[in-house]
Amino acid sequence: MIKIPTDSFKQAGKLLRRLPFHRAKLPVFTHVALFADAASQTVTLVVATLDMRLETSIPPAEPLSQTVSFLIPPEALRSALKADRGSVLVLAYKCNRKGRSIRLKAPCGGIPIETQHDTLDLADFPMRPRATGTATVLPGRTFEMLSLVATCASSDQTRQILNGVYFTPEDGGLLIATDGRRLAGAPATVPTAGSFILPKGAVHILGHPDFRKNPTTVTLTANKDDNEGPLVCFQSENHLLFSRTLSGTYPNWKQVMPRDMVTSLTIAEERRPALLTWLRSLRGAEGSVTLSRKRRGVLQLIHADRGNITSTVEVPVEQSGELEPISLDPAFLATALGIAPTLWFSDSMSPVIARRLDGAFCVIMPMRFSGLPTQRAGTKAGSSSQAAA
C-alpha cells in the first residue's frame, strides 16, 4: 500500500500531461508507470511514447516499507486527479491468477471513494533508455529562449525536419527554429557535443516552469542507426526527460538572414502588449498589415482584407532612417514583435528582422506590396482608426 499527497500527485500530473501519452494507440502507453522505492523513499511516475519518456519523482505521504511497481490505468489516473486538495491518495497493487488490478482510495468532495481498476503487466512498459555521453549543464535561461524561438517552428508534418528547434554550438551556442516563412533564433548555452533537432513535443515539456528554476544536465547519446536521430536526456532536480531527436540535415538558416538594414522602428514597451493583442485578433486568409509613416515619430499600421481597409492603428515609435511602406502577414508580425520590440528594414521586398539587446531575433518575409490599401466603400476615412494604448 502506497500513500501519496494529492497535491504532489496533481502537480506531477500537470507535467506528465505535457506528453500526450493518453492519445497513444498502444494500450500500455496510456498507462502511468509507478515505481515506489523504499531505499530512496521516493515515488516515481513515468509516462512514455515511442519517441519520448518523461519521469518525475515525488515524496510519499508516509514512509515506504517496501519497494513496489505497477501501472496506473487511465481510469484510475483520472479518478486520482479529481481527489480533494490536501488529501492523501492510497494505492494498493494486487496480482494473482485472476489478473492484475489496483485499488484506489481518495476523498472526492469530502466523500471517501474507493475504486478498483484492472491494469496491465509492467513488463510491457518500455524500459528506461541508457544515456551515455558528455554531459552539459544548461541554465534556466536556455529554456526561456527555447520557448521563445519555438513559436517559429513548423507544424507541417510533410516538413518534419522543421518540426523542432535546432541546437547548435556554432557562434557560441544558438537555438534556431523556422517554418520556411519566419525564422527565430537566440544565443544560448547548448551542449557542445554536437548539433541536434529537438522535436516540438519535447520543447513543450521543457517549457514547464520547473526547468527554468534550476540548472538542467543534458546528455547527448550518439546513435548508430542513420534512420533515427541521437537520443538526448534532460535531468533537472526530480524531472527526467528522454527524447529521440529528429533525423536529417537542418537547412542553412544563415542564407535568409537580411543584410544592409538601414531603417529601424522601436515600439515603446508599454504599447507593445496592446499592439500584439490587435495583431493577433486579425483574421482573413488574404489579410495583410501595411506599415507606413504617419508623421515623424508615429507609425501607422493598416489592416486590409482583399484590398479593403478594415482597421488602422497608430503607435509612437523611435525611428532611424526612412521607411518604405511594406506589407506583412499580421500573424508573422505578431510573432516578430512578440520576440523583440525593434524592427529593421532595408526595402519593401526584403526580409524584416526583429532584434533585441540580448541577441534574440526573428526574421519574417514581406508580402508583395501593391500600394497602400483602399478605404472600404461606405466607410468614412479615419472612422476605423484607433491608437494602440
Ordered per-residue pLDDT tens for the chain, 389 residues: 899 999 999 999 999 999 999 888 999 999 999 999 999 999 999 999 999 999 999 999 999 999 999 999 999 999 999 999 999 999 999 998 889 999 999 999 999 999 999 999 999 999 999 888 889 999 999 999 999 999 999 998 888 999 999 999 999 999 999 999 999 999 999 998 889 999 999 999 999 999 999 899 999 987 655 566 789 999 999 999 999 999 989 999 999 898 888 899 999 899 999 999 999 998 766 789 999 988 888 999 999 887 677 889 999 999 999 888 999 999 999 999 999 999 999 988 899 999 999 999 999 999 876 666 655 533 333 334 455 54
What are phi and psi for residue 166, nearest 5 degrees? Answer: -90, 120
* Alpha helices, H only, the chain: 6-16, 74-81, 140-149, 200-206, 210-213, 272-281, 330-339
Closest Cα to residue 386, out of 336, 312, 275? 312
Alpha-carbon gap, residue 222 to 226, rounded angstroms: 10
Give the pLDDT of residue 287: 84
Angle between helices 74-81 and 6-16 (to 10 degrees): 120
What's the angle, vertex CA 124, arms to CA 120 and CA 127, rounded to 5? 130
Contact (Cβ atoms closer than 8 angstroms) between residue 198 and residue 243:
yes
Give the pLDDT of residue 71: 97
Alpha-carbon gap, residue 388 to 313, rounded angstroms: 6
Contacts of 22 (CB under 8 A, 6+ apart): 30, 74
Q: Specify the DSSP element, H or E, that contains 296.
A: none
Name the grid cell of 247: 533525423
- Enter the DSSP assignment of 16: H
Beta bridge partners of 113: 106
Alpha-carbon gap, residue 288 to 300, rounded angstroms: 13
Domain 135-254 has CATH 3.10.150.10: yes
What are phi and psi for residue 199, nearest 5 degrees? Answer: -60, 155
Angle between helices 272-281 and 330-339 (to 10 degrees): 150
Q: Are strands 352-355 and 342-345 parallel, antiparallel or unpaired?
A: antiparallel
Instruction: Output the 3-class SS for 266-317.
Output: EECCCCHHHHHHHHHHCCCCCEEEEEEEEECCEEEEEEEECCEEEEEEEEEE
Give the pLDDT of residue 225: 57
Domain with CATH 3.10.150.10 in the chain: 2-124, 135-254, 257-387
Contact (Cβ atoms closer than 8 angstroms) between residue 89 and residue 105:
yes
Give the pLDDT of residue 227: 60
Closest Cα to residue 210, out of 234, 227, 179? 234
Beta bridge partners of 301: 291, 313
What are phi and psi for residue 2, nearest 5 degrees? Answer: -120, 135
Residue 235's identity, in one-letter code, is: Q
pTM above 0.95, yes or no: no
Edge-to-edge order in the sheet of strand 99-108: 2-5, 88-96, 99-108, 111-118
Closest Cα to residue 326, out of 289, 285, 362? 289
Give the pLDDT of residue 310: 83
Report CA-CA distances (Å) from 238 to 38, 42, 62, 63, 251.
17, 10, 19, 18, 35
Closest Cα to residue 138, out of 243, 239, 211, 245? 211
Contacts of 202 (CB under 8 A, 6+ apart): 52, 164, 232, 241, 243
| Top CATH class, 2-124 | alpha beta
Residue 205's CB is within 10 A of a number of other CB atoms, namely 21
Contact (Cβ atoms closer than 8 angstroms) between residue 220 and residue 196:
yes
Q: Looking at the domain that runs over 257-387, which CATH code has it been given?
A: 3.10.150.10
Alpha-carbon gap, residue 194 to 153, rounded angstroms: 20
Contact (Cβ atoms closer than 8 angstroms) between residue 120 and residue 31:
yes
